[in-house]
Amino acid sequence: MRRVFGSVRARAALGATVVVAVALVAAGIAVLRVLGADLSDQARLKAQMDARGVASKIAAGVGYRALELDESVPVQVVDDDGRVRAVSEDLEAVTGTGSRSVEPVVAAAPDDDGDDDSDDSGGDDAGSVSSDEEYSEGSARIDGETGDYVWAAVEATDRRGEDVTVYAGAPLATERGAVSTVRDAMLIGLPLLLLVVAAVTWLVTRRALRPVEGIRREMAAITASTDLSRRVPEPGSHDEVARLARTTNETLAALETSVERQRAFVADASHELRSPVASLRTQLEVGAAHPELLDVDGAVEDVVRLQRLAADLLLLARLDAGERPHGETPVALDALVREELAQRTADRVPVRGETAPVAVRGSRGQLARVLGNLVDNAQRHARGGVRVAVRAEGRWAVLEVADDGAGVPEGERERIFERFVRLDDARSRDDGGAGLGLAIARDVVARHGGTLTVGAAPEGGALFQMRLPVG
C-alpha cells in the first residue's frame, strides 16, 4: 500500500480526485441551496397571489360565504379577534396560520345577496388590500392528506371596515421533492465522476511519466555497467521531461569527459613519472655497484624534475577538484612582474618588462606561478629575448608575454593548453618540460575569473595574453 501511494501517479490521481470532490461537493451544496431558494420563492409567490386574490374579493364586497374558495388551495380568513370567517373546502386541519380552527364563525344570517348580515353603518364604500405580506410555514390537511405548506398572509378591509387577514398556502412538496431528486442524483453521480477523474488522471500521469521511467531505467543500466557513453532517451516533446532528459545527457557527457580526462591524466602522469624514476633508480643502482661512476648532479636533476612534476600534478588535482583561490587579496600585477623578472637576470634569454600600475584580486602565489610558467615557456622558444607587459584596459588587467621564436601554428593554439602536450616531439623532456605549465596556467587564470589565450607577437613569436578583472 505504501509503495502504491508513494508513486507520483498515485499521488497525482489522489490529489486530483480530492480537489474535484471538494469542488463538486461545494458546487452541489450551492446548487441545492439556489434550487431550494428558487422553488421556495416560487411557492411564496403563488401563495401571495392566491392570498391577494381572495383579499381583493373581500375588499370588493364579496361576502365571506360567497368567496368560492377552491379546495386545491388552502385558504383561511381570520379577523382581528382571531375568529375564522372563511376557509377553503375540505380543509380539515391547519397550522402556521392565524388560527388552528377550520370552522368559520357565522356573524349573522346572510342577506339575499349572499353577504353576511352586519351593521351597514360603514356604508357601501369598497374595502382595501394591504401592500404588505408576511410568510410562515406550517401544515394543512386537505381531504385526509396532510402536507407542508408556506403561508402568505395579506391584510384586507371589507366594505364595512372590518379588518381581516387572508392566509393562502402553497405546498412545499414540489420544492422538497425537486431538491431531494437533485441531491440523490448528485450522490449517485459524484462517486462515478470521481472514479472517472481518478482513472483519467492515472492514465494521463502514467503517459506523461513514461519517459521518466525510461530515463530511470537507462540511468540504472548506466550505473550497473559504468558505461558513461550511453545516453538516456529524449522524448520528442518540449516539456519539462524532455528538458530533464537533455540535461541528464549533458551531465553524462560532462561526466564522461571528466572521467576520460582523469584516465588520460593518470596514464600520462604514470608515463611522465616513469622516466625520471627509472633514470634515478638506474643511477642509484650504478652508484651502489660502482660508487666512482655515480652521477650525483644527474641524480639531483632527476629528483628536482620529479619534485616539480609531483607539485604540478598535485596542483592540477586540486584545480580539478574545484579549488578556488584562497586568501584572495589585492595583488599589484606590475609589482609582481618586476619581482619575478628581478630573479631572472642570469637566464639564458633576457626578459624585458613594460609595466603600468594595475591591481587584481586573487592568490599572489598562484598568479606568480602563472607568470613563471609563461616566462619559462617563452624562454624555451625565444631566439633573442622575451617581453613582459602589464597594462589596464577598462575593467580588465592585461598581462602579455611575447617571444621572438617560431610562434605557435594557428591550428595548434588551443591544443597547447592541453595537459602533457608538447608540439615538438623531438625536444627532450629536460628542455621542454612535461607539458603541464600552460595547462596549469590556464586553469589558474580561469579560477580567477579571467582568460588566457595565445596569438602572434609583433616580434614574430608567440604572444600569450592573460586578462583578469581589475580588483
Contacts of 344 (CB under 8 A, 6+ apart): 351, 375
Instruction: Give the number of domains in the chain.
Output: 3
Mean per-residue pLDDT, 292-312:
77
Q: Which of 104-113, 139-148, 207-216 has the lowest mean pLDDT?
A: 104-113
User: Does 1 score more than 90 pLDDT?
Assistant: no
pLDDT of residue 117: 42
373-426 pLDDT per residue, tens: 999 999 988 998 999 999 999 999 999 999 999 889 988 889 888 877 766 543
Instruction: Say yes or no to pLDDT of 115 above 50.
Output: no
Same domain, yes or no, for 51 and 193?
A: yes
Percent over 70 (pLDDT), the chain: 89
Q: Is residue 403 one of the residues assigned to a domain?
A: yes
| Residue-wise pLDDT tens digits, 178-192 | 888 888 888 888 889
> Which of the residue ranges 181-185, 310-314, 319-323, 464-468 would you say has the lowest mean pLDDT?
319-323
193 and 310, same domain (yes or no):
no
Residue 381: exposure state from Cβ atoms within 10 A (0-12, 13-18, ≥19): buried
Looking at the structure, tell me whether residues 316 and 343 fall in a common domain: no
Read off the pLDDT band of 118 (50, 70, 90): very low
Buried b (16+ CB within 10 A) or exposed e, 104-122: eeeeeeeeeeebbeeeeee
The overall average pLDDT reported for the chain is: 83
pLDDT of residue 109: 41
418-469 per-position pLDDT tens digit:
877 766 543 444 455 667 888 889 988 998 999 999 999 998 899 999 999 9
Name which residue leads in pLDDT, 235 or 3.
235
Angle among Cα 269, 275, 276 to the nearest 5 degrees reads: 100
Residue 372 has pLDDT above 60, yes or no: yes
Most confidently modeled of 24-38, 276-290, 298-312? 24-38
Boundary (domain end) residue, out of 302, 320, 338: 320
Average pLDDT over residues 78-93: 90
Q: Which of 17-31, 109-123, 277-291 has the lowest mean pLDDT?
A: 109-123
183 and 48 in one domain?
Answer: yes
Output the nine-digit C-alpha cell for 52. 391577494
Least confident among 225-234, 353-362, 390-399, 420-429: 420-429
Residue 361 has pLDDT above 70, yes or no: yes
pLDDT (mean) for 59-70: 85
Residue 217 shares a structural domain with residue 363: no
**Interval 31-52 mean pLDDT:** 90
Residue 322's pLDDT band (boundaries 50, 70, 90)?
low
Query: Can you tell me the mean pLDDT for 55-76?
Result: 87
Residues 131 and 3 in one domain: yes
Comparing 148-152, 335-339, 425-429, the range with the smallest average pLDDT is 425-429
* Whole-angstrom distance, CA of residue 59 vs CA of residue 163: 10
User: Which carries the bigger pLDDT value, residue 430 or residue 292?
Assistant: 292
Average pLDDT value for residue range 105-112: 53
Residue span of the structural domain in which 138 resides: 1-227
Can you give the pLDDT at residue 425? 46
Are residues 138 and 252 both part of a single domain? no
pLDDT for res 236? 79
- Among 287, 320, 353, residue at a domain's last position: 320
Neighbour count for residue 50 (Cβ, 10 Å): 24
Q: Region 146-171: what's the mean pLDDT?
A: 92
Q: Are residues 36 and 116 in the same domain?
A: yes
Residue 291's domain is classified under what CATH number? 1.10.287.130
Tell me: do 10 and 127 sit in the same domain. Answer: yes
Same domain, 397 and 445: yes
85 CB-near residues (< 8 Å, 6+ apart): 64, 77, 78, 79, 104, 105, 107, 164
pLDDT at 166: 94
Please enumerate in sequence order all residues whose Cβ is within 8 A of that of 327, keeping only pairs 6 or more positions apart, or say none: 363
Q: Is residue 380 a part of any domain in this protein?
A: yes
Domain contains 232: no
| Contact (CB, 8 A) for 378 and 457 | no
How much is the pLDDT for 139? 92
**Which pLDDT score, from 0 to 100, does residue 398 have?**
95
Domain boundary among 273, 299, 320: 320
